[in-house]
Every structure is written in structure tokens, then in C-alpha cells.
Structure 1
Amino acid sequence: MTQFKFDPSGAYATALGAQFNGEGTNFALFSDHAERVELCLFDEAGNETRLDLPEMEGGVWYGYLPGVVPGQRYGYRVHGPYAPSEGHRFNANKLLIDPYARQLTGPVVWNGALFGYDVSTGDDTTFDERDSAPYVPKCFVTDPAYDWDQDRALHTPWSETVIYEAHVRGLTMLRDDVPEEMRGTFAGLASDPMIEHLQKIGVTAVELLPVHAFLQDSHLIDKGLSNYWGYNTLNFFAPERRYLRTGEWGEIKEAVTRFHKAGIEVILDVVYNHTAEGSELGPTLSFRGIDNQSYYLHGEDKRHCYDVTGTGNTVNVAHPMVLRMVLDSLRHWVQEMHVDGFRFDLASTLGREPTGFEREGGFFAAIRQDPVLGSVKLIAEPWDIGEGGYQVGGFPWPFREWNDKFRDDVRAFWARKGGMKGKLAERLCGSPVQFNHSNRPATSSVNFIAAHDGFTLWDVVSYNDKHNAANGEDNNDGHDHNLSDNMGAEGHTDDADVIAARMRRVRAMLSTLMLSRGVPMILAGDEVGNSQDGNNNAYCQDNEIGWTRWANEAEGLTKTQAELAALRQKHPLLGEARFASDTTVTWRGPDGGAMTDELWQDDDSSIIMDIEGAETRLLVVINGGDAETVALPEGEWQLSFASEDGSATLKDDGTLNMDWQAVAVLAPPA
């Protein structure tokens, strides 16, 4: 084994993690309650050398080792009290992952030795003496150097942004024009065929489901399933190794560079509300063994985790050093990886203070004042499962928010649930009840009809009920409130009339999404009619259920999406960023006159959204019912868009024949 000796002259506590300076590496780990910290170095054969970190200040244990270069594998063993009733779960028999590790060797291998207690007893107050090192991935010392070739952030205005939510692996696994060895990786994600497709349909940003290293749950492995979505973070800096064709994190940088050159931003879905270690009965892999009391929230009984995420634990972002870790992680992905923004999973958890959710709380304040993070795109999933966790409209600027009210109201309107015209009008106008306050813009609302969690858009019109049997939970998982309608047949069908009806409704729903104020978000595959066979909770389906199916009966939707994106780009009125502006909206009935209370309640008649700006005017005609003739306001009009070919016909007498369940856009002649 190589002989290692710390050099105190090069050591510092100001930067955490393994920092390579060209000649050696400084190691630093925060643990406020530890009594001793061992740095564990591993050679390629798995032989371990243990060295006590020689310095500590402010709870940061650190030391500088000359000659340790990128590629060196390492981990930690942290000594301290094993006193669950006091919130301490130190166990130096357990090898621990550095929270700041930039790269890991591979996945966790499930074994009873991963637990700090004797898992066979189910009693977390017992103490397990087995060594977990053979089963825990090792950390790598890395070199952040990369030639970015003058890459620059795009900073696409929110009013021009079109988001595409996708899974790195699932997006390309069934894509025949992507080389097989690249499918399911960042290399495949940023391949020429994928970039060309995204440009064709007007996408300006890809929002990627979690790419941080995550844990494969043992109970899923036992069922022959896996954690496909990745909402089970093991480390906030290291990428998921399966997504790297080469195994090197530089592949992500290459993908980001290619996207930026194509005019497409990269947004990461990040999970800072909990970790993969689960409840107090979960394994000891990193944070729990480093300093359980600091990294996690606990109830009055410190033995048990406080859980508002439904995963067993909640990250304690109220602790300054834990908050720093989260901010350091975010800055790492912006500064070193050049990503353009983040979508925060269960973001209400991050705003929880002792008194409950606080929009002016420490986490949001820290991000808003940060010169790096304050300038990137920030999107909140504005809820968690705790009391007071539903906070749509409650986040501070510059955060944008997923708007599930848009999803539900648009689905209900087109499914003809009744009484939805007024609510649809609100969604078309940017959901002002939720967002027109505190100087927030209309682009605060991220509008979507389908996302990874729930039915795909095609399944919304193909299934009345969820079909989740493949998840192994007796179809008890997933949402029951889907606001879906199978249009006459449950699931896949060869009936041409049913397929045509589904196409018509999906086109109308896509049109509503792209013609509404706010930021449109498309679920990957919705533009080609992707189905998950009615599974509305495909979190464990790393197979053809969860992957995007590119070949199906609804490929013609791509043309519709491309036309809508071009229309939105041509007419900035549709993406108006401000609520308070010179743009006016007048709502008209099928006679061309002002809407009345009676017309708002009439589910079978069309509505006209008359949008007038300083230089142009648009009519958005929406018919959620049967075929109807609509009188247009005075003036000259030409048809700019129809959701279905032939579904809108402009007549010489100034009327518009609207077919059933269709959307049209008219503008003055150019």
C-alpha cells in the first residue's frame, strides 16, 4: 500500500469535500457531534488504508494529503456515540459516502451490514459491528477541469420558454435512430436525432428527472423492479452512473454544451427534501452515520425522524451547514456543470420553519440573495404531504411553480365534466387568483396537463381507470382522481373512430396548453401519443412501460405541437409576462358579444378569448362541445391555426364554423 502522510501547511476547512489542487487533495467533512473521523483510502483491489483527519474547527474535520490525485477512491468512518434516543447513530463499522463526492464507483449492494443496528431484530437501538465497506460505493477524487469552449448560459426569457420534462434513460431507450450504445445515457439524450426533434417541436428547455446518484430500493429489487424515476437521492453532487456511457461525469458537460449550442437550456429536477437513508430503520450510508442529528429533522423524541415527505426522513435545511451543502450542490451544478436551472421536488418541505411553511424562510432567502443561484431558472413543486403543505401560488419571486390547478381544470373541461368554462378562462389568463400578487409575473405558473407522475396525455384520453398491477401493489398505488375519459374503449384499440376522437381531444388539450399565459411544460412523448398502458405511477418501471414509445398511432401530434410552438413564438401576446400590461382580454360568446352568466354556465357553447395588444389582436376560439357556428367580432380575420385539420372554417359572412372539441386562432391579415 502507498504510504500517506498529511501536510498541515496545505490543509483548510473552508471548502468541503475532496479538493484536488494539482499536487494533492484536501479532504474536509462536516460533523458537529463526531469524536473522531477516519479518511479511508482504497486501492483498485479494495485494500483499505485508514487515516485520522488531523484537524477540526467549527465541526469541520479536515486534512491535506500530497500525492493523492483524481481517481483515488475513498470514504469515511465517523466515530461518536451510538445513542438513538439522543439522535446520535454513529457507527464506525459503517463506511460512509462523502456528501460532497463528485463521483461514485457504482450502486449500493444490499446487505444487512449496511444497517447501523442489527436489522434482523428490527430494533434500531441495537448495534451492528459488521463492516459495510464491501457493499458501499466508493467516492472518487475528481478533477473539475473541462474545456467549455466559450459555452455561455442562454438565459431564455420565461415568456419564451417551452419546457420538455424527460427521463435521461427512458427518453432514448426505444429511439431507433440513436446508436444503441448511447441509448439511456446523456450521450443519447444530446444526440443529433434528439436535439433535432426538440428543435422541431419548439422546446427551449429540457427538464430532467433526477440525475443525482440514487438508491435502488431493496423491496423493489426483490420484486424484479427498480427505482426508475430516481427520487431517492444518495448524493447531491455525484451523477447517477448508469446515465454515463463512459462512466465519466464529463459526459454531462458535453451534453450541456451540445444543448446550449442548439439553443436549449438544461433544468434538473432535484430532491433536497429527503435522502435515500429512509427512516430510523433505514441503512447507514452517509448522512445518518456522519451526523444524524444535524442532517435530519427529528420529532420531540429524537430517536425518530420527522417525515413530511412520505419517504421516512426530512432533510434539516434549517441547519446552516446542511443549508450550505444544498447551496454548494446547486452552485456546483451551475458553475461546474453549466446547467440552467432547477425544479425542486416537494419544495414546500424546503420552506418549513418551526411555525410551518414560510415563504420568507431561510432557504428561499438564501437562494434569492445568491449571485449565482438567483440568476438561474427556479421551479417549485409547491406541495408536500405535511400539514399546510399545499402552497400553489405561495412561493416568492423568482420561483415559478408547477400549477396542478391548470392540469385538473383543462382535463375536466375537455372531458366535458361540466361547469368548467370560468375555471378554464382563469387558466388561459395565467391563473391570476394564484399568482397575481406580490409583484409576481404571469410566467409564475408552469402550466402542464401531464407530467411524469400520473397518466400520460394519451392515457388521459384512453383510460377511465389506472392500471398499475405491474407495480406489485395490487393497483392500490397512484392517483384515483385522474379526470380522464377513454372516449369509448378502455386502453389500446383498433377502432379508427375512437383513435380519431382521441387525437382530436389531445390536439385540443395541447392547443390549450400552448395558448395559455404562463410557461408551458410538455411531458416527453406526449407529442407522439406515448402511452404507459394506463399505469399512472410508473416510478418502478424501467422498461417499455416507463420508456418513451416513439412508434405508435398518434405520431401526427408532432406536427400540431410544432405549429403551436411556432404560433406562440410569432405572437408574443400569448406568452405575455406581466399581469399588469397594456394587453386587454375580452371574453365573448358564440354570437360575438360579451359573455353572460348564462353563457358561462352553458357547457355546449364556444367561448372566444379576444386578446388585444398595442400592435396586434388575436382571437382564440375554444369549442369544448359539439359543432357550432361562431360569430366573430367586427374586422378582418384570417385563420392562423386550427387544432384539427378542417375543424375551423372561416366564412365570408364573418362567421367561423367550429367542429366539435376544437381550438382555432385568428389574427388580422398580415
Structure 2
Amino acid sequence: MASAAEQEAEAVRDGVRPSPAVEQAGRRAAPVVWPGAPTPLGARCRVGPEGVAGTNFALWAGGAEAVELCLFGADGTERRLPLNELTHEIWHGFVPGVGSGQRYGYRVHGRWDPWTGARWNPAKLLLDPYARAVDGEFALPAEVYGHVRDWPQQHVADTVRDDRDSAPFVPKGVVVHDDDDWSDDRRPKTPWPDSVIYELHVKGFTRLHPDIPEPLRGTYAGLAHPAAVEHLVRLGVTAVELLPVHQFAHEDHLLRRGLRNYWGYNSIGYFAPHAGYSASGTAGQQVGEFKKMVRALHAAGIEVILDVVYNHTAEAGELGPTLSLKGIDNRGYYRLQSDARRYADYTGCGNTLHVVQPQVLRLITDSLRYWVTEMGVDGFRFDLAAALARSFHDVDMLSPFLAVIAQDPVLRRVKLIAEPWDVGNGGYQVGAFPPLWTEWNDRYRDAVRDFWRGALPDVRDLGYRLSGSSDLYAWGGRRPYASVNFITAHDGFTLRDLVSYEWKHNEANGEGNRDGTNDNRAWNCGAEGETEDPEVGALRLRQLRNLLTTLLLSTGVPMLVAGDEMGRTQGGNNNAYCQDNETSWLDWSLPEDPGRAQLLALTRRLLALRHHHPVLRRRAFFSGRPQGADGLRDLAWFTADGTEMTEQDWYAPAATLGLYLSGRDIPGRDARGEQVTDDSFLAILHADHRPVEFRLPAPPWAETYELVLDTSLEDQTHAPGTEHRGGETVTVAPRSVLLLRVGG
């Protein structure tokens, strides 16, 4: 029979009771904890019985044996209060006298048995999943791991519990009291067909902006500054899509190399604005600062969309740190393999949230509703959304997550964008998400890139992409705006690098240039990287104009990446997720270069043109059928000889394509505001290195054509205004786009 000392050691090792150091520290806490309420989850300031003010704390921890609330003073002193009330797996208590600004965390007791997925360890201070603010930086010393990280036997390293206290090394949640009702805010509510999305990074967009005060650069307040807002308004975008602003942590492998997670796709706090972007403080001030940013953007008519990462967390796999969910109830929050010691990984980041579990689904939907109702945001782009739609193993478009979103009275009204894939089997789901959802359309990206670099075998796919991708989205009542068209995103080359590099140059990431995709579909125009060759430089600028023009004339919702309108470069790095420096930050001196200033002017012209002509942002798919007595169609395709394309033409290689968009059945308004039908347009896309003679379609298609835009011209400040007659031949310069307005 084991001795008393051996039994004590075994109890500590198995997590049945805390270590002596943890237990002794806990005895110092003596404040009274009233029963409180199990809802809402998180920390909420309220008035308790007999009018006593305090804070109610509630934490779901399904399999736990005990939960301690840990309150921290300004000097780091910790008080531990047991939460003795348990209602429906929620531990709760009301603490009188605790108010806004209080720093806190949890210690959760239970079994330590990684072989069955149980990883409770009360020596590890845990962040409240519902914390509305987070104070402190995430570092990853050995003390923040639930297991002994440096255990000599690597094959069982994650099974040996580490009893060192992690509290000095991890951030704390902050109690936030906020009764803002948003009564003074007016949301823009831009309809999907009229939307233009601008993807930006809160820090990178303003970090180098010369007209923003230095203390505000790289912060929410910086993005709210009039100089930042003015650029967005003058450009003509309707929504900003912010790279992740949920509190996130840096990965261990980056910290070891002296790098940091810049993009933020490593969330750990789904209710907390990332503290690193706050200019006003991190003891709850970041919440108010974020709201002021939203109000400033709304006042300018710009919606705020958040890029959210609910598919995984910063706790990684079995060898990752214990920061929050892993220590609260590992089996209740994460998908585990049949060998429960291991994590199911559909994200490539070590873990996957188990969205089928009611408490996980509640965490996500509570977070989403919070950001809409209390933080003022207008929509979400879901990173690796296919992982959220997996019921058990397969992607299921009837999954609980999608079903809950569809019936939720708050969430079904906001903009919902899916990144419609993950890294697991069957994860590629472009075109498969149900109505309400729009999707990033990577098939658009690939087709447009291939056309302008001369790599399309035929133009069948390009035709679908330019006209709204009806082959993907014309079902279930979906419309062309289900397709979010993009050529570049944060992940991959910038637009300028797409025409300047053919291979990735990610050496600065410290991974031997192995990271990042090799499928770039890029063409460097004759020289790899920066060059002084004037012909190469001129060609690159022309290709930039071609790509931007194609994107902004296509049917669907266009998405621009911040800086592409100014020719921003990352030096060929196509995976700059860890480059928190000038590689990723916007260089606001770029428009001082004449070519890049003209590129910015072209982007503004194109967005203004799109705004004024509904035919360029259609609400319904083209029918392609004859309409009216003259038999003209709402959409027609032409070859260079001015004749409509045949079935054989679609299957043949082609570098020249004419796209006729009829606006005569679309209501619009003239310069005086009078109701009229919209204009019709002919767009000619020519990707060959030689000029081509293009015969303009003769009547009844058009009596005359007015040249609106020619990307072969460097100065796009003013419309060319040249007029041609139907049936006339025009010369299209090498690698260029002509846009002509139909007359007569």
C-alpha cells in the first residue's frame, strides 16, 4: 500500500488537488463570494442583492472539479476566490465591490490524463473566453505550458504535468462596464450589389501615415483619424475588412526567431479587441477606442467587417501552451482524434474548435452577436469557414453552425463572407455555401491572373468569372454578389509583386523560403524583382492598370487590398504574416511617384464609374437571351472581328475578348437625378504582346461608341472621349483594356 506522502504526490500529479504552492496561495484569499447567476457568461458589472454593486463571473467548464476566480491587484498580488455555485456546467459567483478595470483569470481543477484528453492543471492561469479586454503581452516561457515542455523523452513530453505557476507570464482579463446603446450611430447598411470591400490591417494601414500623429499610428484611433478616413472616402470603397482584431498571441516558433505574428490569425480572446492596437491603454480603454473607430467610419458611410478566426485558437496542438480553453475543458472545446491525446487538425494550426458542441457554438455565436450589437460592426469574413461547417468529419452545409446563423435574428442581417475551404479532406467548398453567404472566389483570382499572364488554355472559365460566376452561385436564390471577386489578398503577392516576381522571396521569415504557396500564377514582365529597365517598369504599370480595371468592371463584389491602388510591394514575400515592419506597412510616399499616383487616380475613376452605373454592379445574373424587338441580349461576347462568339470560340485559345453589357433594362439616373435607363458598355480585354485590330459590333448593337478608358495610357486622370461608329475598326494596344460607352 502506498504511503501518505506517495498518495499526496499522486493526487497532485493527477490533478485531483492542487500542488502545495498553489494550495497555500489560495488560503490567502478570503473575500465573500455570493452565488450570483450562470448567465450571461463572462464578467458583468451589475447591482446585486440589497443594491450592492459588484461583478458577476460565470465560466462554462463542463468536466471540471473546481474553479477558482483569481483577482489581481495593480502590484500583481493575486486573490483566489472559489466559485462554489454550479448550474448546468457553469461555475458562477458574484463578488461585491469588484468593478470595471479589475484584472482577473481562472484556475480550473480536474484530472490530468492527456491519454483521454483531460488536461486540467490549476497551476496555469487561464484567460476567460468571454473576457472583453485583455491586459498584458503573451510570452511563451516553459511555465505557460500545461506539460513539462523540456521533458527529455519527447514521445511522452506532453503527458507530464508542469506544476509551475503561469500567472506572472500570461495576460489577464479585464472587467469592462459599458452601457453604450449606440443611439448616436447610423450604420451605412450598403446593399451587397453596391459594396466594394477594402481589406486592411489596422496597424499596417496607419503605421507610416505622415498626417496621423505619431502616438495614434498603428492603432484604432489612427484608423479613425480624418487623414485615414479621407483616403477611404476619396477612393470610393464602401467597407473595410479588418484583418483579425480579436486578441491574439504570437506562436512559439516565431518568438524563438525574434519575429511576431503580424496578421493576427492566432486568436485567444473572441470578445476582446486586440490590445496591441490601442493608443489609449489596455485596462479596458481599448474597447471604447475601438467603438470610436467604428463610429468614425460609419459617419463617413463606411461599413466595418471583421476577419474572424473561430476555426482554431492560439493553443495549437498537444505540444502547445495552456492559455484558456485547453485548461478549461480540453475535450469540451477541441476536436480530438480517436487517440484523444492528439488533436484533429483541419486548419493547419494544430487544433480545430469542436463547433458541434453546444458550448462551443454558443461561444462563437455569443461573440458574433456581441461584436454586432455592442461593438457596432457590420459583418464578418470567416477564416477557413469550411472547418466551422464540419458536423463531425465531413463538411456539412446543414451543420449546426450554419443552421444557427441562418435563424439568428441578429446575425442573419449582417454581411457574411466565407473563406470556403480548409486544409482537411473535402474542405474545398467554393460555391457550396447556402443563401445569406457570400464567398471569396479564388477561381476568379486564378482565371484573371492566368489571362493577363497569357496562361489560359481557353476563355470558358474567364467568361463565367467576369459575368458573376453563375456556374457557381446561380442556385438557391443566390445572386452575383455571392461572389467576392479578388485578385490579391493579404495572403500572397501584392498586386505590384504579382507583376514583378514569379517566385516567392520569403527568406526573411526564417523558414528557408519553404513557407508560402508556390502556385503564384505571376509574371514578372521580364525581370525578377525591382529593375531600372524603363520598358519593364512601364509594362508593369500597364499590367497593374489591366488587373485593377478587370476587377472593378467584373460582376460581383470586388475586394481590394490596402495599398494595391498605390503599387505597394512586399519585396516578393508572399507570406508576410510575421513581418511586423516596413515590409507589410503601407508606404504613404508611394503616390509621389507619377506612375503610382496615376494608378491611384485610375482606381478612383473606376470606383466612381462603378458607383454611377448599376450595369456594372448587377443585382441579378445575366440571362444571355434575346430581349426586345431587336433581339439584343443583356450580355454578349465578341471576337476581334466583331462577331459574336460561337461554341468553338470558347474552347479555343484567345488573347482578345469583347464583353458587351446592356444597361437598357436597368434603371438609373442622369446628372440631374432624373430616372433613366443605364448606359451600355463594351469592354475589350487584350492580353497579347502585339496590338490587335478590333471591329466594334455594328448596329443594332450600337450606332456609336465613346471611349471611356484605355489602360495603355499612363495618365488616367481624364476620360479619352474619342468617338467611334459601330462597325468601325479600332486598334487595341498590346496588353490593354478599352472601355467604351454605347451610344445610339
TM-score range, shorter chain: over 0.9
Separation (CA, whole Å) in 2 of partners of 1:202 and 1:309: 35
Deviation at 1:314, TM superposition (A): 0.4
The range that moved more, 132-141 or 433-442, is: 433-442
CA–CA separation in structure 1 for the residues paired with 2:434 and 2:337: 28
Q: Who is 1:624 aligned against?
A: 687
Could you say what secondary structure the match of 1:100 adopts?
coil
- Report the equivalent of 2:4: none
Assess, with a 3 A threshold, how the Cα gap between structure 1 residues 147 and 436 changes in structure 2: closer, same or farther: closer
Q: Aligned letter for 2:97?
A: G
Deviation of 1:229 after TM superposition, in Å, equals 0.6
Alignment of 1:146-157 (within 5 A): 146=180, 148=182, 150-157=184-191
- Name which of 51, 55, 60 aligns with 1:25: 55
Q: Distance in 2 between matches of 1:366 and 1:495?
A: 56
In 1, are the aligned partners of 2:63 and 2:110 still within 8 Å (CA)?
Answer: yes
Q: Which residue is 1:5 aligned to?
A: 32
Q: 2:244 maps to which residue?
A: 210
Offset at 1:478?
0.6
Q: Deviations over 1:437-483 (max 9, x none)?
A: 12211100100000000000000000011111111111111111111
| Aligned equivalents of 1:586, 1:201: Cα separation in 2 | 30
Per the alignment, residue 603 of structure 1 pairs with 654
Give the Cα separation in 1 of the matches to 2:657 and 2:622. 27
Aligned to 1:489: 527
Amino acid at match of 1:621: I
Give the partner amino acid of 1:531: T
CA-to-aligned-CA distance 1:489-518 (integer Å, 9 cap, x gap)? 111122222111111111111111011111
> Match for residue 576 of structure 1?
618
Checking the alignment, whether the CA contact within 8 Å between 2:45 and 2:100 is kept in structure 1 is: yes
CA distance in structure 1 between the aligned counterparts of 2:181 and 2:192, rounded to whole angstroms: 29
Task: Give 1:663 deviation, angstroms.
Answer: 1.6
Q: What secondary structure does 2:135 align onto?
A: coil
Deviates more, 1:493-502 or 1:573-582: 573-582
RMSD: 1.8
C-alpha distance in 2 between matches for 1:34 and 1:3: 22
Q: Does 1:663 align with 2:663?
A: no
Gaps of 5+ in 1: none
Match of 2:604 among 540, 549, 562: 562
| Of 89-98 and 148-157, the range deviating more from structure 2 | 148-157
Q: Matches of 2:553 and 2:507 in 1, distance apart?
A: 36
Quote the residue 1:183 is aligned against. Answer: 217
Cα pair 2:615 2:661 within 8 Å, conserved? no
Map 1:462-541 onto structure 2 (within 5 A): 462-541=500-579
After the TM superposition, which residues 584-603 of structure 1 pair with which residues of structure 2 at under 5 Å, given as runs? 584-597=634-647, 599-600=649-650, 601-603=652-654
Write the letter of the residue equivalent to 1:561. T
Answer whether contact 1:146 1:250 (CA < 8 A) is retained: no
Residues 1:137 and 2:171 are matched in the alignment? yes
Match of 1:80 in 2: 110
Residue aligning to 1:93: 123
**Partner amino acid for 1:223?**
R
> Compared with structure 1, are the counterparts of its residues 325 and 418 closer, same or farther at alpha carbon in structure 2 (3 Å cutoff)?
closer
CA distance in 1, matches of 2:600, 2:366: 39
Q: For 1:83, give the aligned amino acid.
A: D
Counterpart selection for 1:60 from 85, 90, 105: 90
Partners of 1:67 and 1:450 in 2: CA distance: 51
Q: Distance in 2 between matches of 1:644 and 1:137?
A: 54
When residues 211 and 355 of structure 1 are mapped into structure 2, their CA distance, relative to the original with a 3 A threshold, is closer
- Quick one: which amino acid aligns to residue 611 of structure 1? S
Give, as a single letter, the amino acid of the residue that structure 2 aligns with 1:270.
V
Kindly report which structure 2 residues correspond to 1:181-260, keeping only aligned pairs within 5 A, or say none. 181-247=215-281, 248=285, 249-260=287-298
The change in CA–CA distance for 1:104 and 1:610 in structure 2 (over 3 A counts) is closer
CA drift at 1:422? 2.2
How much does 1:354 deviate?
2.3
Tell me which of 98, 113, 119 is aligned to 2:143. Answer: 113
1:174 Cα shift? 1.8
Q: Tell me if the contact between 2:29 and 2:80 (Cα under 8 Å) persists in the aligned partners.
A: no
Give the letter aligned to residue 601 of structure 2: K
The one-letter code of the counterpart of 1:639 is L
Letter paired with 1:575: R
> Is the deviation greater in 148-157 or in 464-473?
148-157
Helix, strand or coil: the match of 2:344? coil
* Matched letter for residue 324 of structure 2: S
In structure 1, distance between residues paired with 2:31 and 2:655: 79
Give secondary structure in 2 for the equivalent of 1:668. Answer: strand
Distance 2:177 2:83 in 1: 22
| d(CA) in 1 for partners of 2:185, 2:732 | 48
Structure 2: tracts of 5 or more residues without a match: 1-27, 48-52, 628-632, 666-676
Amino acid at match of 2:616: L
Output aligned runs, 1:37-52, within 5 Å.
37-52=67-82
Q: CA deviation at 1:300?
A: 0.8
Q: How far apart in 2 are the matches of 1:548 and 1:420?
A: 37
Question: Could you tell which deviates more after superposition, 457-466 or 596-605?
Answer: 596-605
2:45 and 2:56 in contact (8 A); partners too? yes
> Structure 1 residue 598: deviation in Å?
5.3
- Cα distance in 1, alignment partners of residues 60 and 338 from structure 2: 24
Which has the higher Rg, Structure 1 or Structure 2? 2
Cα deviation code 1:591-611 (max 9, x no counterpart): 221113554424343423343
- How far apart in 2 are the matches of 1:375 and 1:84? 42
Q: TM-score, normalised by structure 2?
A: 0.87
After TM superposition, give the deviation of residue 3 of structure 1 in Å: 6.0
* Residues 556 and 435 of structure 1, relative CA distance in 2, 3 Å threshold: same
Give, in whole Å, the separation in 2 of the partners of 1:140 and 1:613. Answer: 58
Pairs within 5 Å for 1:59-458: 59-121=89-151, 122=154, 123-146=157-180, 148=182, 150-247=184-281, 248=285, 249-354=287-392, 356-458=394-496
Give, in angstroms, the shift of residue 573 of structure 1: 1.0
Name the counterpart of 2:711. 643
SS at match of 2:203: coil
Query: Which whole-Å deviations, capped at 9, do the CAs of 1:130-167 have from their partners, x for residues lacking one?
Result: 11110111111101223745202221011100000011
| TM-score scaled by length of structure 1 | 0.97
Structure 1 window deviating more from structure 2 (203-212 vs 173-182): it is 173-182
Are the counterparts in 2 of residues 41 and 49 from structure 1 also a CA contact under 8 Å?
Answer: yes
Query: Retained in 1: the 8 A contact 2:642–2:695?
Result: yes
1: CA distance between counterparts of 2:645 and 2:496?
Answer: 32
Following the alignment from structure 2 to structure 1, what is the Cα–Cα distance between the partners of residues 146 and 187?
Answer: 44
Deviation at 1:217, TM superposition (A): 1.6
SS at match of 1:235: strand
Q: Give the C-alpha shift of residue 378 in structure 1.
A: 0.5
Match of 2:227, as an amino acid? P
| Aligned-partner residue type, residue 406 of structure 2 | R
Q: Secondary structure at the match of 2:206?
A: coil
Superposition deviation, residue 536 in structure 1: 0.2
Aligned-residue offset at 1:213: 0.8
For residues 55-110 of structure 1, give each alpha carbon's deviation from its aligned partner in whole angstroms, at most 9, with x where no partner exists: 10110000111211101111100011111112110011111100000011121222
The amino acid across from 1:524 in the alignment is: A
CA distance in 2, matches of 1:611, 1:405: 25
Q: Secondary structure at the match of 2:205?
A: coil
Q: CA deviation at 1:7?
A: 2.6
Distance 2:587 2:431 in 1: 34
Q: Partner of 1:342: helix, strand, or coil?
A: strand
